Amino acid sequence: MKLPALLSICIILAIFPFGSEVSAEQFFDKGVSAHGAILMEQESGRILFEKESNTRMRIASITKIMTAVLAIESGKMEETVTVSSRAFGTEGSSIYLTEGEKISLEDLVYGLMLRSGNDAAIAIAEHVGGSVEGFVYMMNEKAREIGMEETLFANPHGLDDHEDHYSTAYDMALLTQYAMKSPQYREISASKSYRSVTAEDRIRVFNNKNRLLTQLYKHSTGGKTGYTKRAKRTLVSTAEKEGMELIAVTINAPSDWHDHMNLFEWGFDSYEMSTLVKEGTVKKVDDPFYKNKLRTEFSFQYPLTEEDLKHLKKRVVLLKPNEERWEQEGYPYPIGTVQVELKGKVIGIVPLKYVYEKTEEPSLFKKWLGHWFRVNGMVPNG
């Protein structure tokens, strides 16, 4: 049964207390240096700050986040890649691959993310996609899947060799939110250094170019740098503090390190991750049919300011009981939802499960055995 059919009974469970808030406009009274920027909370996807976040711009090497994602998802990270002449001849930042060299795909992804190797990007594309052109097709298909509606990829590295290669701050935040669901991506993105040893005993050490991670910001958990003459400085970074994970993206930002640190500090100071629905039994339900028999199977958290707490409501929405039918056919799932609203807008829906104890019908043998015990004046298990 589809979820809209559940909208039959609404019970207001809680309205939270209130406080004060410092607005993004007040905090950034002088603005950020970036032409395009966004600050997003990772779990919920809530946008905390944005500036021209949906404007298409050139993105340089933060393109490589998509390249890394596709490499990781290919399941080929342990495979050996033979470097082509095309990869060897790639211009710009490099991990200095040589034609014919054999190196693992995993090592290439570390070189891609930490040292921004354009040669690594081409080698990855050819191995995972069969060709650079085939890989670019995969990149754009993945972008559509994620919901990156204002993005078009033309290469796997972000160099200015095509006019139609662009994205937005918002789309790159969506991509990063998706990428951070992968433990392997998280590990690579958070690595300050990586040592690669090939079959020919060639040793490379990749030191991460992301100064937020290596020097400047103690709450940094990773990210990707970028620069070309046309795109200027681009940067995607992630940070975590007290259980809140944030994503910052800046495009064409002369002072990107400071932009990101300021955005993160404002976000951590202004918002707090609040558990709005807890996993477990829902207690505040008056209907006797449902009382103490509804369970949420996961918690729902959302970043909130003190001002938000004035406008927060939770509602339980339930199906009209049909006990006789449900006893025969099984209880539907979900049997209802907990809906969380902020300023009249639904920000979260948690499904509800009906928990009940079904009495097992005794088998014919057990019935006969019980009858035998009674006839002979004996008590089973007594």
Catalytic residue among 53, 61, 189, 220: 61
Contact 150, 156 (CB under 8 A): no
Q: Is the dihedral of CA 51, 57, 62, 66 positive or negative?
A: positive
Q: Look at residues 235, 125, 114, 262 and name the one whose alpha carbon lies nearest to residue 176.
A: 235
- With vertex at residue 112, the alpha carbon angle to CA 107 and CA 113, rounded to the nearest 5 degrees, is 105
SS3 of residue 131 by DSSP: coil
Half-sphere exposure of 224 (CA within 13 A, CB side): 32
Catalytic residue among 51, 64, 209, 314: 64
Rounded-to-integer distance, Cα 59 and Cα 73, Å: 22
Please say if 191 is a catalytic residue. no
- Class of residue 90 by CB neighbours under 10 A (exposed 0-12, middle 13-18, buried 19+): buried
Rounded-to-integer distance, Cα 74 and Cα 82, Å: 17
Please say if 74 is a catalytic residue. no
Rounded to whole angstroms, what are the CA distances from 54 to 3, 8, 155, 226? 31, 37, 21, 19
* DSSP annotation string for 239-271: EEETTEEEEEEEES-TTHHHHHHHHHHHHHHH-
> Which residues touch 256 (CB under 8 Å, ≥6 apart)?
33, 34, 233, 234, 235, 250
Instruction: Tell me: is residue 224 an annotated ligand-binding position.
Output: yes
CB atoms within 10 A of CB 48: 19
CA torsion, points 160, 133, 109, 116, in degrees to nearest 10?
Answer: -10
Please say if 116 is a catalytic residue. yes
Catalytic residue among 104, 116, 237, 270: 116
Contact 302, 46 (CB under 8 A): yes
Which run of H or of E encompasses 123?
helix 118-129
- Known binding-site residue numbers: 224
Residues annotated catalytic, as ranges = 61, 64, 116
- Known binding-site residue numbers for substrate: 224
